[in-house]
C-alpha cells in the first residue's frame, strides 16, 4: 500500500515538510515540488532530517522547480532523483495513493 507524499512548501518556512516526514512509512515515496524543491539541496539545515527519512523511502524532486530557484542538480543530496512532469505523472500512477502536504 505504497503512498506518494507530495510536498510543495519550503522546509525552511513551514512545518508541512517536517510533518510529512513524521507520517511517511517504509516503502513510501516523497516528491518535492514548487518551493519544497529547495529541500533537496545538500548542506542545508534540513538535509539531515531528509537523509534520515531516505533510509526507507524514495525521494524525488521536480527538476524544473529546482532549476527555477537557481539550484543545480549536482548540489542535491545523494540518492534524490530528479523528475520532470512526465515522471511526476508516473509516480502518481505507480503509487496506490497520493497525499499532498499543502
Partner 1 sequence: MATKKFMYVNRKAPYGTVYALEALEVVLIAAAFEQDISLAFIDDGVYQIAKGQNTDGIGMKNFSATYKALGDYDINKIFVEKESLDERGMTADDLMDLVWEDEDDDWAEKPSIKIVSRAEMADVLADQDVHYSF
Q: Among 17-25, 40-48, 51-59, 89-97, which window interacts with partner 1 (CB under 8 A)? A: 40-48
Task: Work out which of 3, 47, 54, 92 binds partner 1, going by CB under 8 A.
Answer: 47
Nearest-approach distance from CB 25 to partner 1, in angstroms: 27
User: Could you give the CA distance from residue 36 to residue 40 in angstroms, rounded to a whole number?
Assistant: 8
One of 25, 67, 94, 100 touching partner 1 (CB under 8 A): 67
Using alpha carbons, list the distances in angstroms from residue 41 to 19, 27, 64. 19, 22, 14
Q: Which residues contact 63 (CB under 8 A, 6 or more apart)?
A: 73, 82, 83, 84
Q: Work out which of 24, 30, 32, 41 binds partner 1, going by CB under 8 A.
A: 41
Amino acid at each position: 500500500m505504497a503512498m506518494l507524499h507530495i510536498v510543495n512548501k519550503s522546509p525552511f518556512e513551514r512545518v508541512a515538510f517536517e510533518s510529512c516526514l513524521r507520517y511517511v512509512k517504509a516503502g513510501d515515496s516523497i516528491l518535492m515540488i514548487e518551493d519544497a524543491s529547495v529541500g533537496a539541496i545538500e548542506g542545508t539545515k534540513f538535509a539531515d532530517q531528509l537523509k534520515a527519512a531516505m533510509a526507507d523511502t524514495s525521494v524525488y524532486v521536480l527538476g524544473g522547480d529546482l532549476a527555477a530557484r537557481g539550484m543545480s542538480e549536482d548540489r542535491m543530496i545523494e540518492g534524490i532523483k530528479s523528475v520532470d512532469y512526465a515522471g511526476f505523472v508516473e509516480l502518481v500512477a505507480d503509487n496506490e495513493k497520493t497525499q499532498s502536504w499543502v
